[in-house]
Amino acid sequence: MTELLNVVLLTFMVIVALAAVWLRNLFASVMMMGIFSVLSACTFVVLDAVDVAFTEAAVGAGISTVLMIGTLALTTRDEKTPVRWSVLPLMVVLITGAVLVYGTKDMPRYGDPSAPVHEHVAPRYINDSPAEIGIPNMVTSVLASYRGYDTLGETTVIFTAGIGVLLLLGGYRNRKRQEDEF
Amino acid sequence: MRNQMIPRVIAKFFIPMILLFGLYVQFHGDFGPGGGFQAGVIFAAAFVLYALIYGLDEAKKVARPAVVEALVALGVLIYAGTGVVSLLKGGKYLDYNVLAHDPIHGQHLGILIVELGVGVTVAAVMITIFFAFAGRGQSE
């Protein structure tokens, strides 16, 4: 059952991604990217990573689609047809893809209990988290307590992103103030 | 979309539910899936939906930009402040064991506060970014 779901989801993801590239109407492309995010959220649910699925559905399909449409409202709806086809970008993409596929040959099989990721710190968290932290959701205890420094760093990154956007795009209030002074 | 009845009615039903679900994900994060980040984006999505249906100006009356921008910093302050409190109580930075009378309760309290900080910052940043993008067309 899971294999069938995975095959269907991944096939749809490939089709939607190709459609997003082929379509010349940028509005339709943005919608395709939204559908792609919903499909990958479904994949995360199949993989039992519900936290990631939440994030993907809310950010990927929701907010970033709205931001993209907002950007389209400022620019243009249709992509310009390329004047000439160049081979170099295609080669770069193909070679990068081939290298990535080659790299997966070294990766452990999905769900392999002897994979390095399951043998490093994971056993300690799984064994000690119920006694040390005492909350049922181990993801939260790793994120907020064992890896509290990392999460503080992530929050600071989001803070910095917000400040950066505010400085670059949100300057209209200062501009108004300057106009009033002149 | 201000004059379209169906989106307006649907949004009226959905926005409170999205907000409630955001709060559930925020404060239930230590028992079920979710946590500060997820709750923050869900909460922000409700405000984005409100702005899409009722217009940016109405949304800015609900979530005043000055307040939202203050919340961006407040979330990080809550998180980092928790670390400082645990320092003052004699532990290491972000060591929640010392926050309450016994380590398990301290951990619960610490995780709850820290996740709240993450949620506040994420929601405020998402709303700020949306306001900045959406307000760009209006001001020029």
Structural domain harbouring A69: 1-80
Count of C-beta atoms within a 10 Å radius of residue B72: 23
Q: Do B76 and A159 touch (CB under 8 A)?
A: yes
Query: How many domains, in total, are found in chain A?
Result: 1
Chain B residue with CA closest to A173: the answer is B139
Please give the average per-residue pLDDT across B38-45, as a whole number. Answer: 91
Asked if A141 and A129 touch (Cβ cutoff 8 Å), the reply is: yes
pTM: 0.85
Burial of B113 (0-12, 13-18, 19+ CB in 10 A): middle
Within a domain: A118 = no
Residues 92-131 of B with CB under 8 A from A: 94, 96, 103-104, 107-108, 110-111, 114-115, 117-118, 121-122, 124-126, 128-131
Within a domain: A70 = yes
pLDDT at residue A175 in the model: 53
Count of C-beta atoms within a 10 Å radius of residue B94: 22
Structural domain harbouring B91: 5-139
φ, ψ of residue A63 to 5 degrees: the values are -70, -40
Domain of A65, CATH number, reads: 1.20.120.1200
pLDDT mean values, one per 10 residues, chain A (182 residues): 89 94 90 94 90 89 89 82 81 95 87 80 83 81 86 93 87 56 52
Within a domain: A75 = yes
pLDDT digits (tens, 9 = 90+) for B19-31: 999 999 998 877 8
- Which of B41, B94, B137 comes nearest A58 by C-beta? B41
Query: How many domains, in total, are found in chain B?
Result: 1
Closest CA to B117 of A142, A63, A138, A144: A144
Residues 117-146 of A with CB under 8 A from B: 132-137, 139-141, 143-145
